[in-house]
Structure 1
Amino acid sequence: MILLDDNFATIVIGVEEGRRIFDNMKKTVSYIVAGSVTTLFPFLIYVVLGFPQPIGTITVLLICLGTDMVPAVALAYEKAEADIMSLPPRNPRTERLVTGQLLMRAYFLVGAICTAAGFFGYFVALNYEGIKPKMLYQARVDWDDRDKNFTIYGPDDDWYGKPTKEIDYHERKRLEVIAQSSYFIAVVVAQWMDVIVNKTRRLSNFSQGMGNWVLNWSLVFETGMAILFCYTPGLNTVLRVAPVIGQVWVSALPFFVYILVFEELRKWIVRRFPKSFLGIELLA
């Protein structure tokens, strides 16, 4: 450390800034990894459960490059948490930038919740078109077969009841684009809260506040890009997305709230029981 003045208090400021930078880097990595989960799990579900493809190649790019990047960068502008100088020095052997705890939170906790929000939007959109979730299980082969029609049953029928109508391959692909667009929009709504809860690692978000205006504007930018992609005639055709019904936006809001409640509980455990197993394992 090189002091540019003769004030030793500058050392404290330098240490605080170093801790803030390291914390913000972890927050950015956590947010990006959680976002990548929303593009990974759909392909696993596609293979294992046989659902029609919930997300396409272009939709993956829209999430990773179109809506995720600006909020991730905005986390670098977050101010230091209030308790940052009361913490003991970081152990470089165990407290690395990417840890098992961070990956567990990103992949199996918050990332899984965002993915669930996306799938709920996917099911809501198809249900609106008359296709129930149970009709999609292991339907991938028939869904992608150009020579077969896909049977839709009425609300009071089951797999053994009387079919209501049949849809051909081109109609199925039109509905698939709508479903993938709905997955995309629902993920964007869930990630509003994902980036907000990443503002802190230990303290409550209510104590941190929303003073990071770079991040606040990034949420507006993210939403605006999603609306631009899906609702602009011509552009949505090129990007293979489609306008999304309002029910899809609303369907993701419970997951938005769930992420906040879950993260507040996780951070409370980290603060209240820092030496416990949960306190150690939940500190991302």
Structure 2
Amino acid sequence: MERVTDTQIPTDWSYLMDMDGVLVHEEHAIPGADAFISELTERNANFIVVTNNPIYTRRDLRARLLASGLNIPEERIWTSALATAQFLHNQRPGGSAFVIGEVGLTTAMHEAGYVLTDRSPDYVVLGETRTYSFEAITTAIRLILGGSRFVSTNPDPTGPSRAGVLPAAGAVAALIEKATGRTPYFVGKPNPLMMRSAMRAIGAHSESTLMIGDRMDTDVIAGLESGMPTVLVMTGISTMETVAEYPFRPTLILNSVADLIGHTEDPFRVISPVW
């Protein structure tokens, strides 16, 4: 694998970073995450938090992060719900959709100018909710069989909760796909579309943007396929053992974002990377 060389190092890095497993675990900040965000803010660095979670609005996520001690402005948060709404607006401005999801997705769809309806919608849009309804899933299946196009915010099969894992959009999408024979288009990570839309939101470019994530199968591959160098942190899903299972590698592996404190101007000068 080719590492970033001195001649390739940008003079000013932008940062895309995952939220869960990189900055927070449920309601608690990962040690050092607050100092890392503070350093980026003090340097006026260009950064954005990118999450596949479509349940919450940016305002909700800002409040959640603030309660964990992380002061991140709303405009520095990008969700799969926002990326999905933007994608649909670009595909079919002023369209209609039947939506399964929470306020984060329905708000994004309304703001994109979409009408939410169960009467012959252009799209069926599957997000995430803690209360999946069999009736809503049945409606989605019938609408897709009737000609509505099938889109999902993200492919994650499960999500975390205090009680353990929960079925997420990817698992419910598999149920609908089995019933209809129609494969959904997933907008969220690892789709590079999600990464490019986040970079556009902050005016960043792939050659000078670093992707930080905790999962090889979403964060690292999304960054790789978007042309960005990548940092994998060991505070979430992936481990050194699971890294070895993949044919690709991150540019850098660190214990946590705390290792980047003092090195955000030049992240590839970190003194003791894991790899």
Report the TM-score when normalising by structure 1: 0.28
Structure showing greater radius of gyration is: 1
Greater RCO, 1 or 2 (C-alpha within 8 Å, sep 6+)? 1
The structure that is strand-richer by fraction is: 2
The structure that is helix-richer by fraction is: 1
